[in-house]
Amino acid sequence: MNHTKLYYFIFSCFFAVFQIKAQLHTVWTPDNGDGTFTNPILWGDWADPDVMRVGDTFYMVSTSMQYVPGCPILKSKDLVNWEMAGYAVERYNEDPRYDMKGGTLYMNGSWAATIRHHNGKFYVGFCTPNGWGREKGNFSICIADKPEGPWERTIFPEYMYDPGLLFDDDGKVYVVHGQGTLYVTELNADAKSVKGKPVKIWEKRFKNAHEFGGGFGMEGSHAYKINGKYYITCPAGGSHGWQICLRSDNIYGPYEHKLIMNDDHTYPQNGFHQGGMVQLKNGDWWFIIMQDRGGIGRVPNLVPVTWTDGWPMLGDNGRDVITYKKPDTGKKSPIKVPATSDEFNKKTLGLQWQWNHNPENSMWSLTERKGFMRLKAMRADSLLNARNTLTQRVQGPSSTGTVVMDVRGMKDGNIAGFGIWEMPYAYVGIHQNKGKRSIVMCNHGQIIEEIENFTGERIWIRARATDRNFKANLYYSLDGESYHLIGNDLYMKNGLRWTGNRFALFNYSTTEEGIGGYVDFDWFHFIGK
């Protein structure tokens, strides 16, 4: 190796380490570096988690609804430090509305995913409701040799709501599913089709965590075979709810039940809801369980499992743990976090990004201008039906996203910018009309402030979000140094149902002649705490 190559190699290694350290200092990390961790393990919307272990690696899958790619899969060596591994669904091809043709399909896509590993293959199952309800829809199984993919997806005609996949030790395959009334359906050995009819195993409802007779039915089932007994863990009571465990000697019951967690002290009035458990190599068990934290989303926490009289009791005497000793994996794991910031200097998008629906791939590019994300405008009336909106999660307890956008390629009718996406949404953008450009701050369809006669080529836009009153504010800069507050406060909500708010980059056109106008995003920088 000559001196030039050696110098370049050393510099590259130094820069890579610098980038990793910079990333860790700007993103919430639960690892305290002293053998303990502090919940939540991910301070963002990683809803409906399910978890498993393959060898010395843990894998977690999460709900992502209509966002594409779908069914995000994370990996970890210690259940505390997580990074993205891939997605089980590249895009949704079963309905043109996922392409925003003839409507939209917000709140659809993947719900309540389950993840398992069997005979060398990874399996992810999820349900897709038809609309908002729990009675109609379909069920999918995705299969791959590795979590990075490629994945093969099979769509079942049957609808199995909130599925939990179980590979039994006798070779049989089951899905536990339902809301309120729970069922077990046997699949064929390849897990690609249904073998038997659903068998009802549970139909009792709870008035509260301790009593029967009310309207709270269980859902989010995850199934396990442990020491010859069948266990099904389920939440009930919604965001204010609790965790129940069913137990039986037979997959079809009868089942006895026990309350295994009922606590909201770390985020009052919002109890611990859906989740799954996993066993370490040393025999210890842990449970990843989500907690609804409003506009930030449904946030996963890690709690220990204590087996008492054959029941998996969660947390510390039934309560959530805040700071606790890390799981004993026998190895020390480096601090890691899922990626956030992006320089757009690669040929493929980072795994932190998801589109709001299926993207139109001819209308975006990372290669037409090297080092930039180019978004080309398509026809839309508002951000609600603007295709190719690129998103990633806001995070708690507070996070700031900043972009710089080159606007020289815009056409009349284009609106391009950056902001916070959900319902309601808010953004700062550039609007071009009759050859003139203006800076606008929009709060859910209403222009709150407009600054006319913008003549620059670049604009810096910043969005700050916090879990305090779930408030977000927007800023702009003309030089990348001095930022100016613009418009009014956005109070983040979950109008799209159960998906947390997101940072969003976009470009759309309100006119036909504006189609194809483009903007170039140089980078996205994330700072959190």
Question: Model's pTM, two decimal places?
Answer: 0.93
List, for residues 498-529, the tens digit of each pLDDT value: 789 999 999 999 999 999 999 999 999 999 97
The H or E element containing residue 5 is helix 3-26
Reply yes or no on whether the pLDDT at 313 is more than 90: yes
Reply yes or no on whether the pLDDT at 67 is more than 50: yes
34 is catalytic: no
| Cβ neighbours around 103 below 10 Å, total | 11
pLDDT of residue 134: 58
Only one residue has tokens 């709270």, namely: 216
pLDDT of residue 132: 56
Who's near 17: CB < 8 A, 6+ residues apart? none
Reply yes or no on whether the pLDDT at 492 is more than 50: yes
Of 31, 45, 48, 520, the catalytic one is 48
Rounded distance between C-alpha atoms, residue 116 and residue 285, angstroms: 16
Reply yes or no on whether the pLDDT at 280 is more than 90: yes
Phi, psi (rounded to 5 degrees) for 218: -80, 155
Rounded distance between C-alpha atoms, residue 298 and residue 292, angstroms: 4
User: E strands within 309-457?
Assistant: 311-314, 323-325, 354-355, 364-365, 373-376, 378-379, 390-393, 398-406, 414-421, 426-433, 436-443, 446-451
Phi, psi (rounded to 5 degrees) for 315: 80, -160
pLDDT category of residue 94 using cuts at 50, 70 and 90 = very high
Rounded distance between C-alpha atoms, residue 224 and residue 219, angstroms: 15
Structural contact between residues 110 and 141, judged by C-beta atoms closer than 8 angstroms: no
pLDDT of residue 133: 54
pLDDT of residue 479: 97
Reply yes or no on whether the pLDDT at 13 is more than 90: no
pLDDT of residue 23: 45
Tell me the average pLDDT across 250-273. 91
| Cβ neighbours around 337 below 10 Å, total | 22
Who's near 483: CB < 8 A, 6+ residues apart? 460, 462, 475, 476, 477
- To the nearest 10°, report the CA torsion of 251, 204, 162, 306: -70
**Burial per residue of 445-457, b for 16 or more beta-carbon CB atoms within 10 angstroms, e otherwise:** eeebeeeeebeee
Structural contact between residues 271 and 44, judged by C-beta atoms closer than 8 angstroms: no
pLDDT of residue 131: 61
Rounded distance between C-alpha atoms, residue 420 and residue 495, angstroms: 13
- Domains of the chain are 31-325 (2.115.10.20), 354-528 (2.60.120.200)
* Number of DSSP helices (H) and strands (E) in the chain, helices first: 1, 37
Structural contact between residues 42 and 35, judged by C-beta atoms closer than 8 angstroms: no
Reply yes or no on whether the pLDDT at 374 is more than 60: yes
List, for residues 122-144, the tens digit of each pLDDT value: 999 999 987 655 568 899 999 99
Q: What is the mean pLDDT of the chain?
A: 93
Strand order of the β-sheet with 111-118 is 111-118, 121-129, 137-144, 152-156
pLDDT category of residue 267 using cuts at 50, 70 and 90 = confident
pLDDT of residue 240: 86
Question: What size, in residues, is the chain?
Answer: 529
Percent of the chain with pLDDT over 90: 85
Strands 426-433 and 502-509: unpaired
The tally of CA atoms less than 13 A away on the side-chain side of residue 320 is 26
Local structure of 321: helix, strand or coil = coil
Local structure of 2: helix, strand or coil = coil
List, for residues 96-118, the tens digit of each pLDDT value: 999 999 999 999 999 999 999 99
Tell me the average pLDDT across 281-299. 95
Rounded distance between C-alpha atoms, residue 442 and residue 426, angstroms: 5
Reply yes or no on whether the pLDDT at 378 is more than 90: yes
Rounded distance between C-alpha atoms, residue 410 and residue 375, angstroms: 10
List, for residues 390-448, the tens digit of each pLDDT value: 999 999 999 999 999 999 999 999 999 999 999 999 999 999 999 999 999 999 999 99
Of 162, 219, 263, 320, the catalytic one is 219
pLDDT of residue 482: 97
Tell me the average pLDDT across 187-212. 94
48 is catalytic: yes
Q: Choose from 47-56, 207-216, 232-241 the range with maximum mean pLDDT.
A: 47-56
Reply yes or no on whether the pLDDT at 11 is more than 70: no
Reply yes or no on whether the pLDDT at 2 is more than 60: no
List, for residues 469-483, the tens digit of each pLDDT value: 999 999 999 999 999
